[in-house]
Structure formats: C-alpha cells, structure tokens
Amino acid sequence: MRPIHSTLTEASFAAVATPPGLESGNVHLWQWRLPDAPAPRQLTRLARVQLLALLKTYAGSELEPRLAYGTHGKPHAATPGLPHFNVSHGGDCVAFAFCSEQELGVDVERGSPRRRHSALELATRFFAAEEAATLAGLDDAQRERAFLQLWTCKEAVLKALGHGLSFGLDRLRFAIGNDGQVEALLSIAAEAGRPDEWQIHRFAAGSGHVGCLAWRGPARTLRTFRLEALP
C-alpha cells in the first residue's frame, strides 16, 4: 500500500513569471488558471503554446522544442536536453509537470453536474468493484468528490506509465476514507510495479477542479508554482 501525499491547496502554488532551474531530484508542478473557460479545442491550443514556452525557458533556448508521441499518444520532447513533462487541462485550469530524470503523469478535472452518466454509473463500469461499492455508500457530495479524486489519481498513474485508459482503470485500486477522501494506492497490475514504488500527490485547483501528480520512482523534492505570465 502507498499512502497518498496530503492534498496541495491553491495556496501551495507560488506565483512566478519565469521558471527557476530544474535541479536534479526535483519535480516542478505548475498550475495555470485562465480568466474564463475556453472551448476545449482552444484550451488545448493555449496549453500547447504555454508548454512550449516553459520548455524553451527550461532549456535556456529560443529554439522551438520538437514534440513526439509515444505508442499510446503521450507527448514527449524530441529535442535533446529537455526535461520529461506531462500536461493536463480541464475547465479553466491547466497543469504542467516537469522532471529531468523520469516520466511523470498529471491529470486535472473539473466536476460536471451535467455529465451524461452519474459518478456511480461510471465507477461501476470502469473502476474496481470495491471502489464502486465504497462510492455507493457515500452521500452525493462525498461521492462526487471521491469520484473525481479517483479518476485523477488513476489517470495520473496511467499517464506516468505512458498508457491511456485502455490499460484499464480497474487494474489499480485505491482506498477511500469514510469522508470520501482517496487515501492510498492499494494494488496495481504487476507490470506497473508495486504500490510502494509510486509517489502520488493530490492537489486542489479551485472552482471545483481536482488534480493529481504521479510518478513511479523515489521520492523527490516537489516544487509548486502558479503561472502568471511568460515573456
């Protein structure tokens, strides 16, 4: 079992305009909040523009970084000397994660009361049976929060592995407390390592957004920033 690190609040993210150096043993997690929630396609475009700007700043170069994509669609830097990264966006929030030494996964989601299927319907279909049963025993507000936490935790792990949802959300199982908080990674498919090999950090992004950062490997120094503007 791997306990999940305490949730980072919005106050945990320091506002900066320029990224500091990415030192060995460090992970940088960025949060960028837009004034309004753009259309999904526009949000994807804006997130890519800011990702490339951050990569250029980390590289100390004005050359446009080249991106490539893995078997399951995960982007990575094809230009030598750039850090590993991952990016996620939803609603009016974008999250970026960077590390020089290893792969990362990050996911951020915003709750949607207009979702076609309820949290319990989705959990019953995609999550482990024990998780769905626990969600069923929570009240509506706790269930929605726990569902979003579970989804982001699972997707962050799968993204760190370089897989998509086809890996199977039911192949990793989390413990959920009586208050609806996701507390620990209990089990995971053997090819993804042992639960105690994983580092999982939940974070809050305000306005109903929930996020998670994950990597398989040793504990590292996590530094958190809020993107204000880039030159």
Q: What is the pLDDT of residues 149-165, one digit of tens each?
A: 999 999 999 999 998 88
Q: What percentage of the chain reaches a pLDDT higher than 90?
A: 69
d(CA 25, CA 219): 8
Dihedral sign for Cα 153, 155, 159, 165, please: positive
Q: Which domain holds residue 147?
A: 2-227
Residue 2 phi, psi (nearest 5): -120, 110
CATH no. for residue 101?
3.90.470.20
Mean pLDDT over residues 15-43, rounded? 89
Beta strand 105-110 with 67-69 is: unpaired
d(CA 159, CA 224): 19
Residue 207's pLDDT is what?
77
Cα–Cα–Cα angle for 82, 88, 89, rounded to 5 degrees: 135
pLDDT tens for each residue of 177-224 = 988 899 999 999 999 999 999 999 999 987 778 999 999 999 999 999
Q: Give the predicted TM-score (pTM) of the model.
A: 0.94
Structural domain count of the chain: 1
